[in-house]
Amino acid sequence: MQQTRFYLLQELRRKYPEGESASLSRIILDHTGYPPSTYLKDPDQVPGPVTVVQINEIVSEIHTGKPIQYILGYTYFCDLKITLNKSVLIPRPETEEMVYKIIIHCFRPPIHILDIGTGSGCIALALKDRFKEATIYGLDVSRKALEVASENGVMNELDVNWIEKDIMREATLNGENRFDLIVSNPPYVLNSERAIMNDNVLDYEPVDALFVEDSDPLVFYRTIASFSKKQLNEKGTVWVEINERLGTETASLFEKAGFQHVTILKDIHEKERFIRAEK
């Protein structure tokens, strides 16, 4: 197992930085039935032939540039196992961080929650896992994404209502729907930023969920602000993940839409990454 681990690290370093390679090697070994408790306790243990074949197949796919999360078909988000395929984005650590910040800032448990652009359903499910009594909706324009989200809800035994709707075209839900919390991680990467992004993102992840035109980078936030103003209860809050280069502009948009206490929050890397606004 020690040799197998070293082999994995060597191969992963061809594609990933040192720290990420170590993390991915642990994920792969755990996926093949060898969690850290096993190979650290008995480093001389010899992996079976099936495991060797699995690892070699995974390494071959890694060398094609395919993200490990799509190779394995899942990832973990806020301690939940989340199924993935190319119809949905791979959840980022920053998005996980936003969920934890939302939980910390919720002095009263929200009763009705909406996740706009839910994708794999990771945000909606993580919030349902924390706020058990809440009624939560996950909205997305993509039926294929909602199929993945629904599967994740069943797998994690968490009840979320999935809605197929394009809020860019339909600015409200049914009149009886009012929310205490609206959250979204909309597309915010500028098309001009494609040049600095890794091929494993551009070649495998759904670009419609990532990119916006440079000429109107806040198009989704404008709609989310308008939508939230209509659909939030009084004193309700909206949280969004943002482009670090557009924090001031995005905050100004929510202020002009009539929101109070609009706050820009930084992520763990000290980048302006989230906005919280109150109706």
* Digit-coded pLDDT (tens) for 238-270: 999 999 999 999 999 999 999 999 999 999 999
Q: By C-alpha distance, which of 105, 99, 97, 168 is closest to 136?
A: 99
The answer to whether 96 touches 77, Cβ cutoff 8 Å, is: yes
Q: Is 271 helix (H, G, I), strand (E, B) or coil?
A: coil
Element (H, E) at 63: helix 49-63
**pTM for the whole structure:** 0.91
Integer CA distances (angstroms), 44 to 39, 41, 87, in order: 8, 9, 40
Angle between helices 122-130 and 143-156 in degrees, nearest 10: 30
Distance between CA atoms of residues 169 and 171, nearest Å? 6
pLDDT at position 14 is 85
pLDDT at position 169 is 84
Residue 15 amino acid letter: K
pLDDT at position 54 is 93
- Per-residue pLDDT reduced to its tens digit, 156-211: 999 999 999 998 887 666 655 799 999 999 999 999 988 888 777 878 888 889 99
| Contacts with 118 (C-beta within 8 Å, 6 or more apart), sequence order | 124, 138, 139, 140, 145, 146, 149, 162
Provide the 10 A C-beta neighbour count for residue 6.
Answer: 11
Question: Which pair of structure tokens corresponds to residue 80?
Answer: 């939940």
Integer CA distances (angstroms), 193 to 84, 183, 184, 214, in order: 24, 24, 21, 9
